[in-house]
Amino acid sequence: MNSVILQIAAKYLKWLLIVFAVLALLRGHNNPGGGFIGGLMAGLAIVYRGFAYNAFQVKEELQDRPGYYIGGGLFAIFLSFLPSLFAGKTIMTGLWVKIPTPVGEGIKLGTPFLFDIGVFFAVIGVTLLFVFSLTQKQH
Amino acid sequence: MEDSVSNTVLIIAFSMLLAALVLAFARLLKGPSINDRIAAMDLIAAVVMGFVLVYSVMINKSIYFDIPVIISLISFIGTVAVSTYLKHRYG
């Protein structure tokens, strides 16, 4: 499908979806949102570009990327387990660090946030994998 | 909740949205051709956006206001995906 309108629209709406995805990722844990929802939205943004530019037929460009996303996400989840393990607490205990900033109250970072980032990338990879395998031509 | 919308308005809005949802779902189930089903799915997404907005008016919180934006973007992707499938199949 080579539609010029869809290609121009995808160029801008893709970034809008990614912005909302990152917003949902950062807002999660206390408000509606989180890594899973953000990952679904970011994955759909990449799928959107694929539909517009007919990229699902280009196998060699896109085939390995879902695996990279899933592997990176699972590795981030694994990294988020380590601090609670080395602190001598039960594994997967949430540990938070407050980084002071010149303005505002400071940024709260913690292992749940790292876990959310891992879920984000893993869900992007799974979404891409589903859509790629559904749009492959049957042999 | 003095500044919220009155109950009657909310009940009317919810019942009309529910009627629209039921009608669109009936069209989704029995639609003669697949184009009717695509249009019905798009309509259902729009009705769900209306539900979210009326609900966030009801509970007086603006935190749900970006959900309709996301639903509209994603339902558009769904329509494009089904159209691509139809084009690969029939055209």
Torsional class of A47: left (φ above 0), alpha (ψ -120 to 50), beta (otherwise): alpha
Cβ contacts (< 8 Å) between B64 and chain A: which residues? 32
Q: For residue A2, which of A48, A61, A52, A56 has the smallest C-alpha distance?
A: A52
**From the list B66, B76, B84, which residue is nearest A20 (CB)?**
B66
Q: Are the Cβ atoms of B83 and A1 closer than 8 angstroms?
A: yes
pLDDT in tens, chain A (139 residues): 677 888 888 888 888 889 989 988 888 777 777 888 899 988 888 888 777 776 665 555 555 678 888 999 999 999 888 888 888 777 777 777 777 777 666 677 778 888 889 999 999 999 888 887 777 665 5
Scan for tokens 């979806």, then name that residue: A17
Task: Copy the structure tokens of residue B55.
Answer: 């609900």
A17 CB within 8 Å of a chain B CB: yes
The ranges assigned to domains in chain B are: 7-90
Taking the CB of residue A7, how many other CB atoms lie within 10 A of it?
15
**Is the backbone of residue A3 left (phi > 0), alpha (psi -120 to 50) or beta?**
beta
Among residues 62-81 of chain B, which lie with CB inside 8 Å of chain A?
63-64, 66-67, 69-70, 73-74, 76-77, 80-81
Nearest to A51 among B63, B67, B81 (CB): B81
Start-end of H helices in chain A: 4-27, 35-52, 59-62, 65-86, 111-135
In this predicted structure, which of A50-64, B20-34, B64-78 has the lowest mean pLDDT? A50-64
Interface with chain B: mutation pick from A15, A19, A48, highest number of B CBs within 10 Å? A48
How many domains are contained in chain A? 1
Containing structural domain, residue A9: 4-135
